[in-house]
Amino acid sequence: MSLTKNYKGYQSFQYLEKDIDYKYFELAPEINRVQSTKVSLSNEEEQRVKSIIEKNVLISVHEHLGTFPKDIMETPAYVKEGRMATAFEGLAHSHWDCVFDNLMDGICQIHSKGGWKWSEVIHDLGMRLCDIGHQDFVIHCKSVDDILRAHKEGKVAWVAVMEGAMMIENELDRIDLLYGFGLRSIGITYSESNALGSGLKEDIDGGLTKFGKRAVERMNKVGLLIDCSHTGDQTALDTIKHSSKPIILSHIGAKALWDTNRMAPDEVLKACADKGGVIGMEAAPHTTLTPNQRTHNLDAVMEHFEYIKDLVGIDHVTFGPDTLYGDHVGLHTAYTAALSLKESKGKRKPGMEYNPVEFVDGLENPTEGSYNIIRWLVKHNYSDQDIAKVMGENTLRLLREVWV
């Protein structure tokens, strides 16, 4: 059913009046914003792709489904309004049955300079849910059954995620509240350290704190999927060890291929998989590069995929491209400090020079990822069974173990 989505044309906040009920910003196109490459296939390969999409549940474990202003430098003003549009049209042109949406993430600065305040993330989540509540194409996903229903009905299961737990401060019960508000996955840290543990930007990684261990226990009990994509390596190892359930590294790559803080060393990748976890491939601009691929594109991302797949096994890898609808590179320019980009990407160490790009060719937005990854796998002779695993089955197995 993923080949054709049951979309009736709803646009965000169409139940309100522009510039009367809310400030209107001209948004970036959700389809064909740039000319990005589609993996070319033979007629026989095209038929394989169609069959795979129809038969299997396809899940992206990390995206940002908000649509950004056409002029990306208007984003700070757009964010201050606290009303981010959802890319319903873009999703309707995708093949994803389920997408983990990380909301405003590190730019959640609705009424503060630092962002991530409790009131801000609840505002962000509530506003998105209000918008979703006025349509019937995107389903607020709270269970595996919701994912299966979305696939069957030609809809999209939308999973609410927070990339870091800064907003819980020292209040364990806020974990319960977030779950109650419909959140189903949360990161331990988002690059900066917090009360739970150390982020990847820190010079010294102190690991998971005593409070962090209690938070992990509570996350396990309520059924939140734990993510360590932005923690320090020791904090990730401590979390994996302390958690009674497997975790996810939803959007990451191999440090062995590209030596920055944003990538994970083999030790962390293996520990995640050994506990039953799943590792999603990152594709945000200028992250998953390699010595062989110094221009960030689909092939560079897939080199990380194949390295990690060979390291931990086909049953523990998937895709969390970390893409969005709008100028992603421009967004990084506007929010370098808030997103900890200097620390996460390193300082261009000797031998790690790369060619800057305006977008990641072949993986510019969530729509492209939904078809180009499968096309690449088909072109490179992966079996239907292995494609089914990495495109959704591995994640479904994980969610059945973690979600309650």
How far, in Å, CA of 61 to CA of 377, rounded? 18
Question: 322: phi > 0 → left, psi -120 to 50 → alpha, else beta; which?
Answer: left
Q: What is the pLDDT of residue 3?
A: 80
Chain Cα centroid distance, residue 68? 16
Q: What is the pLDDT of residue 47?
A: 98
How far, in Å, CA of 31 to CA of 34, rounded? 8
Going from N- to C-terminal start, the domains of the chain cover 48-402
Q: What is the pLDDT of residue 340?
A: 58
Helix (H, G, I), strand (E, B) or coil at 166: helix
- Is CATH 3.20.20.140 correct for 48-402? yes
Q: What is the pLDDT of residue 315?
A: 98
Q: pLDDT, tens digit, for every residue of 354-372?
A: 999 999 999 999 999 999 9
Phi, psi of 53 (to 5 degrees): -65, -40
Q: What is the pLDDT of residue 404?
A: 84
**Low-confidence residues of the chain, pLDDT below 70?**
1-2, 337-348
Q: How far is CA 38 from CA 42, 217, 368, 378, 392, in A?
A: 13, 44, 8, 13, 21
Q: What is the pLDDT of residue 341?
A: 55
Q: What is the pLDDT of residue 350?
A: 82
Q: What is the pLDDT of residue 346?
A: 54
How far, in Å, CA of 373 to CA of 302, rounded? 8
